[in-house]
Amino acid sequence: MFVSKSMTRNVITVTPEDSILSCQEKMAQHKIRHLPVVDGHNKLVSMISDRDIRSALPDTVLKILDCSEKDEKAIRRLKVADVMKPNPICITSHDTIQDALLIIWREKIGAVPVVDEENTLRGILSTRDLLRAFISVLGIGEPGALLGILVENKQGQLKKIVDIITEEKISTGSILVARHWEDDKRAIFPYLMSQNIIRVKERLRESGFELINPLDWYIDQI
Q: What is the CATH number of the domain that holds 95?
A: 3.10.580.10
pLDDT at res. 160: 95
Cα separations (Å) of 69 from 54, 66, 72, 147, 218? 19, 5, 9, 62, 53
* Domain final residue, candidates 101, 136, 171: 136
Contact criterion met (CB below 8 Å) for 39 and 16? yes
- 148 and 48 share one domain: no
- 162 and 191 share one domain: yes
- Residue 189 Cα to chain centre, angstroms: 20
What letter would DSSP give residue 43?
A: B
pLDDT at res. 134: 77
- 120 and 156 share one domain: no
Rounded to an integer, what distance in angstroms lies between the CA atom of residue 126 and that of residue 119?
Answer: 19
pLDDT at res. 222: 42
pLDDT tens digits for range 95-134: 998 899 899 989 999 999 999 999 999 999 999 898 888 7
Instruction: Name the residue among 146, 198, 194, 188 with its Cα closest to residue 170.
Output: 194
Average pLDDT over residues 135-162: 84
* Domain final residue, candidates 89, 112, 136: 136
Instruction: Name the residue among 30, 36, 58 with its Cα closest to residue 48.
Output: 36
The most confident of 44-48, 74-78, 193-197, by mean pLDDT = 44-48
- 20 and 122 share one domain: yes
* Domain final residue, candidates 136, 151, 182: 136
44 lies in which domain range? 3-136
Average pLDDT over residues 128-143: 77
Q: Poorest-confidence range of 49-53, 78-82, 176-180, 216-220?
A: 216-220
- 113 and 194 share one domain: no
Rounded to an integer, what distance in angstroms lies between the CA atom of residue 61 and that of residue 67?
Answer: 9
